[in-house]
Amino acid sequence: MYPDYPFQSNYYTIGNHRLHYVDEGQGDVILMVHGNPTWSFYFRKLITLLAKNHRIIAVDHLGCGLSDKPQEYNYSLQNHINNLDALLQHLRVKSFSLVVHDWGGAIGMGVAVKNIDSIQRAMVLNTAAFRSDRIPFRISVCRWPVVGKLLVRGLNGFAGPAVKMAVSKKMAKNVAAAFLAPYDSWNNRVAVSSFVEDIPLDSSHPSYQTLLKVEKGLEQLQTRQLPMLICWGGKDFCFNDSFYDEWCKRFPHADAHYFKDGGHYILEDAFDEIAPLALSFFEDTE
């Protein structure tokens, strides 16, 4: 049903809800953390590539992908961090590396900060884990009271356009369909809408302090000289060059690669170029 996604489904129960995840390969753990409005499908080619020599865990956040989509759940940054941390504890993962994209940056780095001695290295893909008051108008509209939910949940005005706007190369129809398959109704787009609403632009937002804590934790990771690979799409209208520059400033030792023609879904636009970089990065045990 999903092209290049032959993986077995696994589930971990949180409260009354099932969290879906992929668990492929053996070896050192690489945890892949998606953002909004994608799911573990976004990492499909990277999972296959790296699972030959590593254990790959790719989660679908609650409300996303093949996970349950409860309607009354609090889809906050803190809860996403807690859920991912609980999964790692359940799987008895003692050390791990990260691949993070979009809101997966704040979530994944949030888990890393909670397990500061366990994080080994990090691959960063068009994401953030620090505060910003920048938000594109087209995303801001999706946060408006009443109108926002009608656009995002009713008209699929966030996940739908993303399969075109987040790439510079046209997606194959079956790939675009797979990205959108979990988000095919008002109820199934509950987390897509909640993610947009959970962007903390100022200190009055409920998730602001959580993001601030993650941001401060980045200082510890920099002090430890956390090995980092940055692969960035230059045509990202949301996570634009200012975010790329911020990552490079915070982690000046990072191995940074800028793909000027790549979009937000950089793994769709530049996988062939990124694949050897990822292989080299995660195979390097120095």
- Quick check: 134 pLDDT over 80? no
Residue range 83-131, pLDDT digits in tens: 999 999 999 999 999 999 999 999 999 999 999 999 999 999 999 999 8
- 27 torsion bin: left (phi>0), alpha (psi -120 to 50), beta (else): left
Query: Is 2 domain-assigned?
Result: no
Answer yes or no: pTM beyond 0.75. yes
Are 166 and 264 contacting, i.e. CB atoms less than 8 angstroms apart?
yes
Does residue 4 lie within any of the structural domains?
A: no
Asked if residue 3 is part of any domain, the answer here is no
Q: Is the predicted pLDDT of residue 138 greater than 70, yes or no? A: no
Helix, strand counts (H, E) of the chain = 12, 8
Enumerate residues 6+ apart whose C-beta is below 8 A from 150: none
Residue 21 lies in a domain: yes
For 266-282, what is the mean pLDDT?
Answer: 98
In a domain, 19, yes or no: yes
* Number of domains observed in the structure of the chain: 1
Tens digits of per-residue pLDDT, 154-195? 999 999 999 999 999 999 999 999 999 999 999 999 999 999
Domain containing 65 equals 10-283
Q: Looking at residue 215, which CATH number applies to its domain?
A: 3.40.50.1820
- Residue 5 inside a domain? The answer is no
Can you say whether the dihedral through the CA atoms of 156, 154, 35, 15 is positive or negative? negative
pLDDT given for residue 137 in this prediction: 59
Which of the four pLDDT bands, split at 50, 70 and 90, describes residue 9? very high
Indicate whether 110 belongs to any domain.
yes
Bin 92: left if φ > 0, else alpha if -120 < ψ < 50, else beta: left
